[in-house]
Structure 1
Amino acid sequence: MAKDGSTVVTGSSKHPTTAKISFLRHFFTRAPSPTTMSATKTKVQSIIDENPVAVFSKSYCPYCNQAKQLLSASGAKFYAIELDQVDDGSAIQSVLADITGQRTVPNIFIAQQHIGGNSDLQAKRGELNTLLKGAGAL
């Protein structure tokens, strides 16, 4: 332990700050455990199954906001989860990539069917009300 009370992590770097950053990077970027991923997959599937429309989003994403605005303007009831505001957001995004092949947000489901992202939703404007009614979101 250093005199100032901080812990100095030793590693390949001789510079204590670099060693600390390396340690923290490892801690915060390691892959979730299989148990965590299984629980996350169950959570994601529940969100998709229990909501007529599910939007996996990030609060700062302009494409996400456009998609949510279109759904709101059409009067749809939808569930949106902001991945940048939940602890397991990164794990959720990884599970979505496994399920859909899409790593980006928004990741949109209507009636448990993967629609895609904002551009895919916008392309369905003409049939959106029919899709939303069929899903029970209108």
Structure 2
Amino acid sequence: MDKVTRLASENGIVIFSKSSCCMCYAVKILFSELRVSPTVHEIDQDPEGMEMGNALMMLGCNAPVPAVFIGGTLVGSTNEVMSLHLKGSLIPLLKPYAALA
């Protein structure tokens, strides 16, 4: 749990992902199209990945990945991120981290 919370708070936008997960890929592409560069932690490539996945579930994720944190706060998984985006609420959260257009 400590590793997840530390990593989530070290950068503005953090995605915990698995390299073979299509939903993780979709979230990463969305952020790319919105011109933000999240820090991505591929938990399937981390020796502590299983523990990290369990910690993410304990923090409230429905599935361990993707888990998106913005400003150190858990936003959620694909459904929550896409819902925020469709409501127009995601871009204001990302604005401090977006590339200058």
TM over 0.5: yes
Equivalent in 64, 67, 79 of residue 39 of structure 2: 79
4+ runs deviating over 4 angstroms = none
2:64 is aligned with 1:104: yes
RMSD (Å), alpha carbons? 1.3
Deviations 1:56-91 (A, max 9, x none): 110111100000000111011211111111111101
TM-score (norm 2): 0.86
Q: Does 1:131 align with 2:74?
A: no
Higher relative contact order (CA 8 A, sep 6+): 2
Paired with 1:59 and 1:80, the residues of 2 have a C-alpha distance of 10
Tell me, yes or no, if the aligned pair for 1:53 and 1:78 is still in contact at 8 Å. Answer: yes
2:94 equivalent to 1:94: no
Q: Given that residues 18 and 42 in structure 2 are in contact (C-alpha distance below 8 angstroms), is that contact kept between their aligned partners in structure 1?
A: yes
State the one-letter code of the partner of 2:91.
Answer: N
Query: Matches of 1:89 and 1:137 in 2, distance apart?
Result: 26
DSSP 3-state at the match of 1:72: helix
Deviation (angstroms), 1:101: 4.6
Bigger proportion of residues as strand? 2
Is contact 1:108-1:116 (8 Å) kept? Answer: yes
Q: Which runs of 5+ in 1 are unaligned?
A: 1-40
How many residues align? The count is: 96
